[in-house]
């Protein structure tokens, strides 16, 4: 890419932004220190993920099916019962080996919302 001011080919791309139908490249000339932006526009949308659309909605494993799950549905029910009875979140977290914020999120139904 040549500089627009001095026509030098000693230029570098300093940044890139990808948009739906175009790519913006921020360039700099190393000789005259001119900065400029180039825009590449595509006639066809680039392949890839579209915002707000799940590509494979049925492949997300939740709850006990997830490989790294520490808790079970029975544990979650018992955690909620302990929290309702007034047990401190610290004690519950230590008993099940999870973080206090995990217990809070389970009790507030931000995690494991499907478990009644």
- Cite the DSSP H helix spans in 1-116: 73-84, 89-96, 100-107
- Sketch the domain layout of the chain as residue ranges: 11-41, 61-107
Parts of the chain with a pLDDT under 70 = 45-58
CATH of 61-107, one of 1.20.120, 1.20.58, 3.30.2310, 1.10.10: 1.10.10
pLDDT digits (tens, 9 = 90+) for 6-28: 999 999 999 999 887 788 999 99
- pLDDT value at residue 61: 79
Asked if residue 32 lies in contact with residue 8, where contact means CB atoms within 8 angstroms, the answer is yes
């Amino acid at each position: 890419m040549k500089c627009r001011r001095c026509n030098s080919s000693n230029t570098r791309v300093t940044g890139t932004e990808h948009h739906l139908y175009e790519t913006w490249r921020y360039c700099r000339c190393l000789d005259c220190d001119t900065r400029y932006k180039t825009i590449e526009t595509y006639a066809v949308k680039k392949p890839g993920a579209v915002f707000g659309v799940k590509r494979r909605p049925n492949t997300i494993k939740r709850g006990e099916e997830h490989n790294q799950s520490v808790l079970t549905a029975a544990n979650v029910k018992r955690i909620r019962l302990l929290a309702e009875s007034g047990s401190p979140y610290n004690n519950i977290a230590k008993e099940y080996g999870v973080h206090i914020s995990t217990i809070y999120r389970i009790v507030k139904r931000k995690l494991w919302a499907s478990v009644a």
